Amino acid sequence: MFFLFVCLLALSLQSCKLEDDRVNFKFVPLQIVSAELPESFELNETYEIRVRYLRPSACVFFEGFDITKESTTTRNVVAIGTEFLDEPCTQAVEELEASFNFICLYEGTYLFKFWNGEDENGNQQYIEMEVPVN
């Protein structure tokens, strides 16, 4: 009985043929317009950081955050979206909210740099916010 099941499964998988295997999406940075941070952190505590970002079209979906450590207490935060390329969609800009958890591990003052887009010369723009650690 098990052998028959395996044979049927193999045949069904073999009959599935992907005719179009090209990539139909790309990852894109999403412009962060604001962030909510506490006035201060306590060492070894976890905080929810709320972020408002722009969704540029109905073909872009939020995936998460790319948070990189620039130095001990400096974090670069970029909202990441997936843009589907083969779908017809509206270009209406929508402001949405997402959040991530942050654990305060170091003393001093944290600097968060939230990606806010590019200026007319292609230079990266950031919203910078500092939070001291008590």
Residue 107 has pLDDT above 60, yes or no: yes
The whole model's pTM is what? 0.81
Helix (H, G, I), strand (E, B) or coil at 11: helix
C-alpha span between 119 and 6 (Å, rounded): 58
Instruction: Identify the pLDDT of residue 74.
Output: 98
Instruction: Identify the pLDDT of residue 115.
Output: 98
Give Cα 81 distance to the centre of its chain.
6
Residue 11 has pLDDT above 60, yes or no: no
Instruction: Identify the pLDDT of residue 19.
Output: 61
Between the alpha carbon of residue 127 and those of residues 83, 102, 116, the distances in Å are 24, 18, 6
Residue 20 has pLDDT above 60, yes or no: no
